[in-house]
Structure 1
Amino acid sequence: MSESNEKVSSISNLMQEQGFNYQFFYFLYKLMNSKRGETIRYEEVDDISIVRINKMEVYQLKYLTSSNISDLSEAFWKTLYNWGSLQGINFSNTTFFIVTNALITNKLVKYIEKYQENVCTFSDIKRRIEDYKNNTSNEDIEKYISDVIENKNMSSILKNIKFIQDINIIEKIYDNLYRFLIPEEKQILFLKKLIGELKLRQFKDTNEKKKFEVTFEEYFKFGCKLADRIRSNKFVESFYECNNIKDFIKKFFIVQAQDIGVVNDEDDIITLSTNYLNYINNMIEIMKYKFATDKEIDDSLKFVIQNWKSVFMECKRLIADDISKGKKCFTDTLNKNIKIGNISLEDITSKGCFLKLSDELRIGWLPKWEEKYKNEE
């Protein structure tokens, strides 16, 4: 196997480890390939959108198990219907992309290309579309086609639409790894950490009800910082998201949080479990590759417990109601960031440290937490 094929295979394996998501990895590719002044948005206007001054690109991604996108593909007509319903965009300055791994056998595409070349008119296109409407028994497709025919923005959409059959996303990601001058042997590590950084940002933005977008300038800044740390063999955190709450719902760190009212639904469990996972997995890496000594790790944990105890005693002394004491102790404790030797942990990972200790019943939130939970072990 050639070196490039081996690297592509390694990237493919990494993507499978991360849980292959065509949409996310296409976002990664567009970000890696971005230029000054561009903002790459995820799941806002559509799956992916790229914003420039007075211009926009909108991407609808179709990763299909079927082999083609045919004339009466429901996904195709639904996409046109959704684009026609968009609000607050300038259709004449927007390019619309359908990107798919499937073969595009839709004959309408050829007529659209003729329309774009001014070989035929929009009225000609509409007559073709009417034929499709008359040849389907699917009510949903018929509804989508009816809207496409009547939509006032459709002439601009079809004038600016492009179709891309893209099955080489892995190769494209590989081709963009050169940008930060990472040594060959560290490129997969860089990519893994880059994916982690993006998923961390997405996790934070989602929790804060913010749109997830990254500018070229932001990407280049954190990419350079990440590359410098990897070239210097310094620790870089990875991001781990909880996707299955069944593994955590009965653990003490969740039970303790539920008992003080800071966990009310599945989203809260996912958030705390993600914190917990990040601490455990990043600590495994820190210890495995000796980014910190055993003494530095022990000293850090002693400081963390001392810090918790100080907050716990203050809450116990100043607040009357037990639940309010526990909630205040939990919030104030988890707001503190942790250092291990020269490593400053991210806030998500720092929170996970306190949650891990609460799961081991080394710390707690309610005034009589030891008496309550240690009897349940």
Structure 2
Amino acid sequence: MTGKPHTEKTSAAGTIAGFDYQYYYFLYKLLTLKKGETIGFELLDDVHTQLDNDHLVLIQIKHTIQRKVDGTTANLTELDPDLWKTLHNWSAVIKDRNDGREHPAEQKAFVEKTSFVLATNKSFSSTNDFLSNLSKFQDKTLKFENIKKYLIGLRGSAESEETQKYIDSVINLDEPVLKEFLNSIKSDLKVDQIIEKCKTALEEKDVNPKSIDSLFNQLDSVVRQDIFLNFSNSKKLIYTFEERALKFRRYFAIANNPELKIQKFDGGLPNSIEEQIFIKQLLDIEDIDLSEQEIIQNYTRYRLMLESNLSKWVEEGQLTSEEIKVFEDEIFRQWETEYRSSYRRKDNPDEYIDIAHKILKAMRDKELSISGQKLLSDMSHGGLYSLSNKPKIGWLKNWEETYK
């Protein structure tokens, strides 16, 4: 049996990867945009930038999921369909009469203030004579007559009629226009790990290293939503440097000021406040009694303040759920050490309340921190009350039998 199954033939994996690659290349260019520049997505080209000297950069983006035997991406070949389709598209843009470029003089003027960039994850190959000859022509070591002769010969060696047509569209440009065009073509090859390039761009902006991943995820989400909303409403997607700065400024400010902002808890308290498990535990070891309603309410607020802040920090991307787990695990380990050592060789139930008090006091005296930031005592105590309310920790020797 040979060939691929039908399901593999119809898989959209390559198309999806190609679109995402184009999007992340755009995001990378957006993050590295300079003052006075603008950038657009799927407007004048896959991506385009307008520089502050009124110079236009048109970027065609091509992606491949094909790999060589050594696992690296496939090469950009001399007759690569991606290469010649791109050059054909640009030739059509240059000659676009609907954009006021019917005559060679208008076409030459357009090319003189435009750069044409092919960006791809494909690799450079020393056997790609087109790129080699193009480089020589741009370095003035190869005459125009020779590179045009090479292009004509390349057209003759192309087996695909479509590729022949694409090469023809380039060769048939008016000679002064073709000279300018060949001088204006650039390639951005082997652009792999594009997401990491975006994160490196953030790092180069002196973003706190601990905040880079969360900042990237936030900006990624914001830009994707912009694309969806603009395209859904048939609007153009263009960012100026100033618009990008305004939209992203707050996210960068949060990333560069990683200190967690603690908010007091102003919400309501549970109806049956004495029925909370952590309150029952404190009542049973006589740390409080039912007449001390104000203290019971305060302890409840400490718990709810801790839990509400943790929830807010995760929602806002200031903490991850993994960091919260590390925080809770650290409380558990400290409690476990106190609990095991305090009850070691203690078998007299009459001593258990006093021992429980000592464990609770020892834990209340500890300075707890989360993600390297020390917590105030009410938040630290709130951490104890939260875990004993779940309940993951307790004070009496038989706490698990009683409260779980």
What's the counterpart of residue 40 of structure 1? Answer: 39
Whether 2:50 is the aligned partner of 1:30: answer no
AA aligned to 2:178 is M
Whether 2:121 is the aligned partner of 1:104: answer no
Tell me how far 1:181 sits from its aligned partner: 5.0
Unaligned runs of 5+ in 1: 1-17, 235-285, 293-377
What's the counterpart of residue 302 of structure 2? Answer: none
SS of 1:31 mapped into structure 2: helix
Distance 1:290 1:110, change over 3 A: closer
Tell me how far 1:191 sits from its aligned partner: 0.9
Residues 137-152 of structure 1: pairs in structure 2 closer than 5 A: 137-152=159-174
What's the counterpart of residue 61 of structure 1? Answer: 61
The C-alpha deviation readout for 1:70-91, integer Å capped at 9, x for no partner, is 1111111111110011144821
AA aligned to 1:202 is I
Match of 2:188 among 145, 153, 164: 164
Q: Distance in 1 between matches of 2:309 and 2:225?
A: 22
Q: Distance in 1 between matches of 2:155 and 2:118?
A: 21
Q: How does the TM-score come out when normalised to structure 2?
A: 0.51
The C-alpha deviation readout for 1:284-323, integer Å capped at 9, x for no partner, is xx9981479xxxxxxxxxxxxxxxxxxxxxxxxxxxxxxx
Distance 1:178 1:75, change over 3 A: closer
Tell me how far 1:113 sits from its aligned partner: 1.1
Contact 1:94–1:160 (Cα < 8 Å) also in 2: yes
Whether 2:74 is the aligned partner of 1:50: answer no
Residues 321-336 of structure 1: pairs in structure 2 closer than 5 A: none
Q: Distance in 1 between matches of 2:19 and 2:116?
A: 24
What's the counterpart of residue 84 of structure 1? Answer: 91
Contact 1:180–1:224 (Cα < 8 Å) also in 2: no
Contact 2:199–2:216 (Cα < 8 Å) also in 1: no
SS of 1:45 mapped into structure 2: coil
Q: Distance in 2 between matches of 1:180 and 1:121?
A: 43
Unaligned runs of 5+ in 2: 1-16, 67-73, 100-106, 262-307, 315-404
Tell me how far 1:128 sits from its aligned partner: 0.6
SS of 1:191 mapped into structure 2: helix
SS of 1:21 mapped into structure 2: helix
Q: How does the TM-score come out when normalised to structure 1?
A: 0.55
SS of 1:95 mapped into structure 2: strand
SS of 2:79 mapped into structure 1: coil
Distance 1:26 1:134, change over 3 A: same
Match of 2:219 among 190, 194, 207: 194
Contact 2:203–2:209 (Cα < 8 Å) also in 1: no
What's the counterpart of residue 368 of structure 1? Answer: none
Q: Distance in 1 between matches of 2:50 and 2:41?
A: 11
The C-alpha deviation readout for 1:114-165, integer Å capped at 9, x for no partner, is 1112222322212111111111221101111111110233322211111222
Contact 2:88–2:166 (Cα < 8 Å) also in 1: yes
Match of 2:210 among 181, 185, 198: 185
Contact 2:79–2:163 (Cα < 8 Å) also in 1: yes
What's the counterpart of residue 75 of structure 1? Answer: 82
Distance 1:221 1:131, change over 3 A: same
The C-alpha deviation readout for 1:39-72, integer Å capped at 9, x for no partner, is 1111112111110232011111121133111111
Q: Distance in 2 between matches of 1:176 and 1:148?
A: 35
Contact 2:18–2:63 (Cα < 8 Å) also in 1: no
What's the counterpart of residue 156 of structure 2? Answer: 134
SS of 1:65 mapped into structure 2: coil
**RMSD between aligned residues:** 2.9
Sequence identity (%): 28
Contact 1:41–1:212 (Cα < 8 Å) also in 2: yes
AA aligned to 1:95 is S
Distance 1:34 1:121, change over 3 A: same
Match of 2:142 among 120, 127, 145: 120
Match of 2:244 among 219, 223, 231: 219
Distance 1:233 1:140, change over 3 A: farther
Whether 2:28 is the aligned partner of 1:21: answer no
Distance 1:180 1:133, change over 3 A: closer
Q: Distance in 1 between matches of 2:23 and 2:250?
A: 22
The C-alpha deviation readout for 1:347-373, integer Å capped at 9, x for no partner, is xxxxxxxxxxxxxxxxxxxxxxxxxxx
Q: Distance in 1 between matches of 2:207 and 2:54?
A: 34
Q: Distance in 2 between matches of 1:111 and 1:216?
A: 36
SS of 1:85 mapped into structure 2: helix
Which structure would you say has the larger Rg?
A: 2
SS of 2:181 mapped into structure 1: helix
